[in-house]
């Protein structure tokens, strides 16, 4: 992951308080598991950002919430924790993901967008 990649730009926006990352313990654990997959290690080979550092920064700056179970349909049941997160009060403004299992454009009224699109929205502010 380069320091100018959309995920790095989003993390920087979280660090400086431009945006608030909303997570639960379950979604944080899933992100941690995914970022440590061997297939994703190549994204961290030419950067000073490591999965461990990325996660440590995120944990410091994210708002951890306790979500309510969602009944919205989802293709991959393991992704249920992310849909549950969208039921938090107040709900997040956006659900930023690259996971194609999230087929709908909105869940619980929260728009689903890519990291690149979210960065474009941030730069328009």
**Burial of residue 85 (number of CB atoms within 10 Å: 0-12, 13-18, 19+):** buried
Q: Is the pLDDT of residue 1 over 70?
A: no
pLDDT at 27: 92
Residue 108, in any domain of the structure: yes
Residue 116, in any domain of the structure: yes
Residue 10, in any domain of the structure: yes
Residue 102, in any domain of the structure: yes
**51-102 residue pLDDT tens:** 888 899 889 999 999 998 888 888 888 889 999 998 888 889 999 998 888 8
Residue 1, in any domain of the structure: no
**Burial of residue 21 (number of CB atoms within 10 Å: 0-12, 13-18, 19+):** buried
The total number of structural domains that make up the chain: 1
Residue from 102, 116, 97 nearest 8 by CA: 116
Residue 125, in any domain of the structure: no
Residue 43, in any domain of the structure: yes
* CA distances in angstroms from 47 to 5, 35, 51, 84, 110, listed in the order given: 11, 15, 11, 33, 32
Find the domain containing 23 and state its range. Answer: 6-120
């Amino acid at each position: 992951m380069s320091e100018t990649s959309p995920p790095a730009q989003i993390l920087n926006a979280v660090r400086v308080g431009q945006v608030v990352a909303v997570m639960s313990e379950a979604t944080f654990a899933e992100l941690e598991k995914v970022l440590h997959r061997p297939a994703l290690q190549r994204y961290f080979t030419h950067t000073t950002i490591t999965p461990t550092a990325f996660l440590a920064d995120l944990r410091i700056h994210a708002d951890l919430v306790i979500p309510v179970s969602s009944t919205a349909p989802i293709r991959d049941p393991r992704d249920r924790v992310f849909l549950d997160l969208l039921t938090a009060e107040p709900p997040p403004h956006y659900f930023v993901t690259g996971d194609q299992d999230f087929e709908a454009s909105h869940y619980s009224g929260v728009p689903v967008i890519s990291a690149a699109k979210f960065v474009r929205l941030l730069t328009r502010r």
